[in-house]
Amino acid sequence: MFDVMRNMWALFLGMLLLMVGNALQGSLIGVRAASEPSFTTEIFGYVSAAYFAGFLGGSQVTPYLLRRVGHVRVFAALASLVSAAFIIYAAIVDPWVWFVLRFIVGFCFSGIYIVSESWINDGSSNENRGTALSTYMFFQMFGIVVGQQLLNVGDPEGYELFVLISVLVSISFAPILLSVSPAPLYETARPMTLRQLLDASPLGSVGSFLLGAVFSAMFGMGAIYAGRSGLSVAEISIFLTVMYGGAMLTQVPLGWLSDRMDRRQLIVLVALSGGIACVWAATSGTTVLGTLYGFDIYVIYPAAAVLGGLANPLYGLLIAHTNDFLEHDQMASASGGIVFFNGVGAMGGPVIVGYLMESQIGNAGFWIFIAAMMGFIGAYGIFRMTQRPTIDVADTSPFQVVTPRLTPVAAEISQEVVIEQMEEAAQDDDDEDTQSDKSQDAPFVADR
């Protein structure tokens, strides 16, 4: 851990500032849009979906750009576009302009992450790659949590917060560019076809698609839901903080459980529990679907924490379950397909949530959509349990902490870590068998 931090602290610091700025802009435009008459919830759903469309597009195009002009030029170009886009947000508050800006920002951030993650992979070894990836994930989540609190340092109606996110993102590039090693050679495994991946793990593929819709709804529409519900800026920042902060507490415990029980049962339990929390939150609203208790902020906060704490680790559970049905040499190749399924699902989440919130369902549509997606994952998991026998726990692959915000590069790194862990475990078993054979032969040799 200390070696990783000593060698990569500047890179991680840059990523932390980058995530703070990105998280703040995602929440800030939701809060600002909620107060703008030109932004209906349905329109903002399309604006939010543009980010995820751009992110998916960037993950496909960036490898081509890297091979053409190299890491440093791609990084600098994308960084400049992001910084400019954040200023234009405040200058032109228009749905069509924001739609284009969100697409550009999503595209650029995808490329920036790919470049940064390539440097992380190049700067780590087989011995510390897992630690480097875990540290990277921690700084991602911590940056997201900090970004929500910065909503309170300025007025969302003004331009100061937009300038702040531009400055944060601009500053973040300095330690990244000044500390990294020479640009690595960009290489990725030859991907499996989507059909092969779907045949190998239907639950992993379908679950990743549905979970993409869940996360885009949370990340893209959480702030506008909270704003439309009447929460103050301080209350909105708390709502978003507990939603993302819950994931930091549950990844490791659920990962520990997944290595000791039937993963499909745990996936079903986690998905249905998250769905129940959303139903609980929906019934506390003031819409036509839930007037029993009235709007209760002390229901919304715990429900958000439970949802975040269960939905985030569910992505890692689905990947680990997929690995259970793959050979070692297929795992890295499958990572790109999982990211693609997740990205396609993410594009539809905000659009559907925006439509539901504009309908008679009202603000509760935010929770009802997520509850439905989590319920579908749970129901499909139950169905799959009837189609294929359970794999013995001893034969399953280890769980690796990941988030749905991964690019194909980081997803592939996580798979390489899993492969290395499995190979080490197999080598240890072989060594134990060899020692056992020697110990059994020893008395016979002594008697001779």
**Domain residue ranges of the chain, discontinuous segments joined by +:** 2-426
* Token code pair at residue 388: 């294929």
Residue appearing with tokens 């790659």: 129
Hey, is 140 helix, strand or coil? helix
Q: What is the dihedral of CA 150, 152, 153, 155, to 10 degrees?
A: 120
Write out pLDDT tens, residues 180-214. Answer: 555 555 555 566 788 888 888 899 899 999 999 99
∠ CA 113-115-116, nearest 5°, is 65
Average pLDDT over residues 78-85: 87
CATH fold of 2-426, please?
A: Growth Hormone; Chain: A; (1.20.1250)
Mean pLDDT of 230-259: 83
pLDDT per position as a tens digit, 347-375: 999 999 999 998 888 888 999 999 999 99
Averaged over 56-62, what is the pLDDT? 84
Question: To 10 degrees, what angle do helices 202-228 and 233-258 make?
Answer: 160
Q: Please, are residues 205 and 337 in contact by the beta-carbon 8 Å criterion? A: yes
Phi/psi for 229 (5° steps) reads -85, -5
Residue 263: CB atoms within 10 A of its CB come to: 27
Name the phi and psi angles at 99, rounded to 5: -60, -45
Asked whether the beta carbons of 209 and 377 are under 8 A apart, the reply is no
At residue 393, φ and ψ (nearest 5 deg) are -55, -35
Most confident residue range from 100-104, 114-118, 255-259:
100-104
Banded model confidence at residue 47, pLDDT cuts 50, 70, 90: very high
Q: How many angstroms separate the CA atoms of 266 and 279, rounded?
A: 20
Distance CA 391, CA 264 (A): 10
The region, left, alpha or beta by phi > 0 then psi within -120 to 50, assigned to residue 423 is alpha
**The two three-digit tokens of residue 17, written as one number:** 């500032």
Q: Measured between alpha carbons, how far is 5 from 208 in angstroms, rounded to an integer?
A: 31
Is 60 exceeded by the pLDDT of residue 232?
Answer: yes
159 DSSP assignment: S
Question: With the C-alpha atoms ordered 119, 122, 126, 128, is the resulting torsion angle positive or negative?
Answer: negative
Q: What is the pLDDT of residue 53?
A: 92
SS3 state of residue 78: helix
> Three-state DSSP class for 378?
helix
- For 103-142, the pLDDT digits (tens) are 999 998 888 888 777 777 776 666 666 677 777 878 888 8
Average pLDDT over every residue of 399-419? 70
Mean pLDDT of the chain: 81
Residues 6+ apart with CB under 8 A from 131: 1, 4, 124
The two structure tokens encoding residue 221 = 């529409």
Residue 224, classified by CB atoms within 10 Å of its CB into exposed (0-12), middle (13-18) or buried (19+), is buried
Among 29-33, 112-116, 234-238, the least confident range = 112-116
Distance of CA 146 to the CA centre of its chain: 16
Comparison of pLDDT for 273 and 263, the residue scoring more: 273
Mean per-residue pLDDT for 262-286?
88
